[in-house]
Amino acid sequence: MKCPRTGTALKPLRIGGVEVDVSEHCAGVWFDRFELDKFKTPNDAMGEALAQHLSQFNSPLLDLSARLRCPRHPETMMMRRFFGQARKVEIDECPECGGIWLDAEELQLIRELVGQNGPVGAPVVPSGTHVDVIDDALRRDLDRIANALGAASHAAG
Ligand SMILES: [Zn+2]
C-alpha cells in the first residue's frame, strides 16, 4: 500500500498482534477498520508504543486540507470527519472499507482526547462486554450523518 499523503510505500508494523501501516515519510499511520480502537486509550501500552514509533519520523510541511484517497481503494476518496464529539481532531475515513488514516500527531491528540473523557486509571469495561464498541459505532454513524448533512447544505449554498 502507498501512503495517501506522500505516495511512498507504507511499512507494516505489528504491535500486540495488530498490524498497522506506517508512513516513514510523513509519520502518518493507516488503521484497518476497528484497529484504531486498540490504540486510542491513553493508558494503553499498544498506543504508547505506536505513538513512540511514529515520533521518530519527521512530518514534512504538507497541505493537510488536501483530500486523500484510501490506500486500499485508490479509486475512493476518503471522508474527513471529526474524531468523537470534541471536534478537535479531523481524521480521514474510507467509506468503502472503514479504514482510518491519521496524520502525524493525530494519534497522540486522540489519545489525549479519550483521556479527557474519564480519569486515567478508571476501571475499563470488562472484556466480553461490547458497550464501548456499540457506543463507538453509533457515534461514528452520527458523525457520518452530520458530515453528510454539512456537505449537502454546503453544496446547496
Ligand atoms: Zn478503503
Question: SS3 of 92, please?
Answer: strand
Q: What spacing in Å lies between the alpha carbon of 150 and ligand 1's midpoint? A: 22
Mean pLDDT across the stretch 65-90? 92
Q: What DSSP character marks residue 5?
A: T
For residue 13, the model assigns a pLDDT of 95
Mean pLDDT across the stretch 85-98? 92
Cell 479509486 found at: 75
Chain segment 1-38, per-residue pLDDT in tens? 999 999 999 999 999 889 999 999 999 999 999 999 99
Q: What spacing in Å lies between the alpha carbon of 112 and ligand 1's midpoint? A: 26
3-state secondary structure 66-118: CCCECCCCCCCECEEEECCCCCCCEEEECCCCCCEEECCCHHHHHHHHHHHCC
Mean pLDDT across the stretch 91-116? 93
Q: What gap in Å lies between CA 47 and CA 65, rounded to an integer? A: 25
Q: What spacing in Å lies between the alpha carbon of 94 and ligand 1's midpoint? A: 5
> The pTM is what?
0.73
Question: SS3 of 94, please?
Answer: coil
| Average pLDDT across the chain, whole number | 83
Q: What spacing in Å lies between the alpha carbon of 78 and ligand 1's midpoint? A: 8
Q: Which of residues 87 and 141 earns the better pLDDT score?
A: 87
Q: What spacing in Å lies between the alpha carbon of 100 and ligand 1's midpoint? A: 8
Q: What spacing in Å lies between the alpha carbon of 32 and ligand 1's midpoint? A: 8
Amino acid identity, residue 86? A
- Asked whether residue 57 carries a pLDDT value surpassing 60, the answer given is yes
Q: Which of residues 66 and 107 earns the better pLDDT score?
A: 107
